[in-house]
C-alpha cells in the first residue's frame, strides 16, 4: 500500500474528486479530509476535492461543481445503489467528469486487511465487549 506514486501515474488529471457516503456520526469528516490531503500530497499539480452523497458537507454536487473536468473516485467498498445509480447520475448532471471504479475490492485493500491482522498479532488490536 505504500507504493510510490508519481505524477505520471495520474495521467492527465488536473482535478480529482473523492466521493464517500457520509454519516450522521459526529467527528467522521476528518477521515475523508485526511485521505484527500494525503492524496494531494502525492499528486503535485492535481487539485483534490471531496464530498459526500448524504448527511455531510460538502455535498457530492458541491464537490463536482468546484472546478472543471474532474476524475471522480467513489470511496466505497461495495457497488451498491449509490455507486451504480446515484453517482453516475450526479456526474452526468454536473459533468463533464470521468467516473472511476469504486475502491473495493482493490488489491491494496487486501494488503490493508493483512496488515491489520499482523498488527493485531503484535498486540495492537483493540478488544471489544
Task: List, by residue number, the catalytic residues.
Answer: 21
End-to-end Cα separation, the chain, in angstroms: 31
Q: How many CA atoms lie within 13 A of 23 on its CB side?
A: 9
Cα angle vertex 66, ends 61, 69, to 5°? Answer: 95
Cα angle vertex 9, ends 6, 13, to 5°? Answer: 105
| Residues 90 and 123: beta-carbon distance below 8 Å | no
Question: What whole-number distance in Å separates Cα of residue 127 and Cα of residue 129?
Answer: 7
Amino acid at each position: 500500500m505504500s507504493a510510490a506514486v508519481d505524477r505520471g501515474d495520474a495521467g492527465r488529471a488536473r482535478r480529482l474528486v473523492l466521493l464517500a457516503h457520509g454519516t450522521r456520526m459526529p467527528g467522521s469528516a476528518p477521515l475523508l479530509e485526511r485521505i484527500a490531503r494525503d492524496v494531494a500530497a502525492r499528486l503535485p499539480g492535481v487539485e483534490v476535492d471531496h464530498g459526500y452523497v448524504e448527511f455531510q458537507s460538502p455535498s457530492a454536487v458541491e464537490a463536482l461543481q468546484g472546478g472543471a473536468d474532474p476524475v471522480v473516485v467513489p470511496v466505497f467498498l461495495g457497488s451498491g445503489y449509490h455507486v451504480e445509480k446515484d453517482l453516475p447520475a450526479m456526474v452526468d448532471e454536473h459533468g463533464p467528469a470521468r467516473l472511476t471504479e469504486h475502491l473495493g475490492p482493490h488489491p491494496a485493500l487486501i494488503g490493508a486487511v493483512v496488515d491489520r491482522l499482523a498488527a493485531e498479532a503484535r498486540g495492537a488490536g483493540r478488544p471489544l465487549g
